[in-house]
Amino acid sequence: MKKILVTGGLGYIGSHTVVELQNSGFEVIIIDNLSNSSLNVLEGITSITKKPPVFERLDLRIKADVIDFFQRHENIAGVIHFAASKAVGESVAQPLYYYENNISTLIYLLQECKAHSINNFIFSSSCTVYGEPDSLPITEEAPVKKATSPYGNTKQISEEILEDTCSVHPQFRCIALRYFNPIGAHDSAMIGELPVGVPQNLVPFITQTAAGVRKELAIFGNDYNTSDGSCIRDYIHVVDLAKAHVVALERLLKKANASNFEIFNVGTGKGTSVLEIVEAFEAVSELKLPYRIVERRPGDVVSVYADTTKANEILEWKAERSLKDALSSAWKWEQHIRNL
Ligand code: NAD
Ligand code: UD1
């Protein structure tokens, strides 16, 4: 059984990926500092897979602890690095916190990978690196635009760090996955997204509104140049996204990679507007969602969705779950955590 380190493995995408890794026969060690997660997630994972993953509460910003971790754990075959802070608005208010948490942690991990000859590395990147695209759907060849937030900049800088590292260590293999908009939860409703405080992202805000926790959804603008005036995104079921990590990891472990730094878009290839999401949510929940149209949100791109040809053909991975599946799993999860 190959041993895989998953940083941020108690977070939203990390926890779903841990489940898919365990179900594919990998042994998983999780590092998480619980800054945006809780120990209950470990129970949720275990209730699905029946195999408790090894867990270490550790802050990756503390270099000495990272060094110590790798001295204590031998034979790690690969690393999937999710741990980071991800709130765009917060990153504008606290840039140094974001640069430290998202960049120093990557550097410490890479230094230890090098020291211990761990040569397979998957990185969580984001479609945010494309900014406002010049053409749609976006391929991996589209230019990386100047980031509109420190958070987005950390993803760009991280990709550069990885590319530079790969260029001088040919034995080191890395795949950066550029996620589009992950939504939904595990079908079991044992794990899902747990936003702290008021959700900034659309789907958790919708499910909390439906659960009566929020009064109404504010839709940020209906005067964009899109079919119905609201913004368009590529919403991908988190379980499909989790599976993409397993496939990418297997590619690296088999040394089937075409170059030692590869980038893949991970989305569905379909663009959906905010109003279409509301309509689809109302259909799956059989509820009327209270909403009103408000001002545009500063920094929002108008329309972004992936060209997934590269992942489809090279990784032989494709998003399989529908938007309806994703929204109904998100709603089931919200009902589970609210005891509805
Ligand atoms: P999340 O906040 O749910 O998970 C991140 C986990 O990392 C949390 O459990 C947190 O406690 C942990 N963590 C943070 N800093 C840490 C540190 N210094 N040491 C140890 N653990 C630490 O976020 P997520 O949505 O699962 O995102 C995972 C990754 O994917 C992040 O890198 C994020 O930037 C990236 N990403 C997310 C999205 C999205 O929409 N959710 C989109 C694109 C990219
Ligand atoms: C944002 C970030 C992205 C990050 C991702 C995960 C920007 C420009 N992008 O994506 O880098 O990886 O979050 O943290 O900030 N919406 C509403 N009402 C709401 C919430 C959202 O109308 O209450 C709309 C937004 O205007 C947007 C869509 O819903 O059009 C999706 O928003 P959101 O879930 O926040 O994701 P992104 O902005 O696409």
- Interval 79-136: pLDDT, tens: 999 999 999 999 999 999 999 999 999 999 999 999 999 999 999 999 999 999 999 9
CA of residue 166 relative to chain centroid, distance:
22
**Topology of the domain comprising 202-232+269-337:** UDP-galactose 4-epimerase; domain 1 (3.90.25)
pLDDT at 326: 98
What do you get for the CA distance between the two ends of the chain, in Å?
40
- Beta strand 261-266 with 120-126 is unpaired
User: How far is Cα 224 from Cα 226, in angstroms, rounded to an integer?
Assistant: 6
Which atom of ligand 2 is found nearest the CA of 86? 14
Alpha carbons 66 and 337: distance in angstroms, whole number: 33
Residue 108 annotated in active site: no
pLDDT above 90 covers a percentage of the chain that reads: 98
Catalytic residue (choose from 12, 151, 179, 305): 151
Which tens digit of pLDDT belongs to each residue from 277-311?
999 999 999 999 999 999 999 989 999 999 999 99
User: Angle 63-72/105-115 helices, nearest 10 degrees?
Assistant: 30
CB 286 within 8 A of CB 335: no
Residues with CB under 6 A from ligand 1: 8, 10-14, 31-37, 59-61, 82-86, 101, 105, 124, 126, 179, 181-182
Q: What is the pLDDT of residue 320?
A: 98
Give distance in angstroms: CA of 299 to centre of ligand 1. Answer: 21
Q: Please state the atom number of ligand 1 nearest to the C-alpha of residue 13.
A: 26
Give residue limits of the domains in the chain.
3-183+236-266, 202-232+269-337
* pTM beyond 0.75: yes
Euclidean distance between CA atoms 11 and 62, whole angstroms? 19
120 close to ligand 2 (CB < 6 Angstrom): no
pLDDT of res. 99: 98
Q: What is the mean pLDDT of residues 2-23?
A: 98
pLDDT of residue 263: 98
Cα of 193 from ligand 2 centre, angstroms: 15
Average pLDDT on 9-32 reads: 98
Q: What percent of the chain has pLDDT over 70?
A: 100
Pairing of strands 54-57, 27-32: parallel
> What integer pLDDT is reported at residue 232 of this predicted model?
98
Would the CA dihedral through 276, 277, 281, 282 be positive or negative?
Answer: negative
Predicted local confidence at residue 247, as pLDDT: 98
Q: How far is the centre of ligand 2, averaged over its atoms, from the C-alpha of 181 (Å)?
A: 8
Give the closest residue (by CA) to ligand 2 atom 20: 202
**Cβ proximity of 257 and 198 under 8 Å:** no
For residue 24, the model assigns a pLDDT of: 98
Q: Report the chain's mean pLDDT, rounded to a whole number.
A: 97
Sign of CA dihedral 107, 110, 114, 116: positive
**In this predicted model, what pLDDT tens digit does every residue of 139-167 receive, in sequence order?**
999 999 999 999 999 999 999 999 999 99
Please give the DSSP secondary-structure letter assigned to residue 144.
P
What pLDDT was estimated at residue 110?
98
CATH architecture of the domain with range 3-183+236-266: 3-Layer(aba) Sandwich (3.40)
C-beta 275 within 6 A of ligand 2: no
pLDDT at site 204: 98
Please tell me the residue having the least CA distance from ligand 2 atom 29.
Answer: 202
